[in-house]
Amino acid sequence: MSGRTDSDTQDDIRVDAMDDQETRGQAPRDPETDEQPESDEEHGTEDARRARWTATGTGALLALAGLAAAVLRLSGSAPALVPAAYALGAAVCALAAVLGSQGRTRRALWLLIAGVMIMAVGDQSD
């Protein structure tokens, strides 16, 4: 048994932990707050990737739905403006999917909104 008290060993443990983190290349934690430093780069990259996939997937899905609606309306007795509006809205959503895959997610979002609005206005004219 050593003659150390519990409070003496805690300081040594903290120093050893900070030395281990420095040798592994990690930023040392503050022993007073016991919080790990946040890495914004990792979260920012994940969020950007998720936004690109979401914009691409949503644009493709809305483009397919718009094309299907245009074909269905074309075969019916609807005025010619209705399938044209669906086709135009689908084209805008397809463009949004392309922009989303390239990382232009804000523009893709606005184009998705515009494409759905074009489809909705065409549907209302029926």
For the segment 19-59, what is each residue's pLDDT rounded down to a tens digit? Answer: 655 566 655 555 555 555 455 566 778 888 999 999 999 99
Of the candidates 14, 35, 16, 36, the residue with the CA atom closest to the CA atom of residue 26: 36
| Four-residue CA torsion sign, 47, 45, 40, 29 | positive
Q: Are 18 and 30 in contact, with CB atoms under 8 Å apart? A: no
pTM for this model (two decimals): 0.64
pLDDT greater than 60 at residue 6: no
End-to-end Cα spacing for the chain: 90
For the segment 58-99, what is each residue's pLDDT rounded down to a tens digit? Answer: 999 999 999 999 999 988 887 889 999 999 999 999 999 999
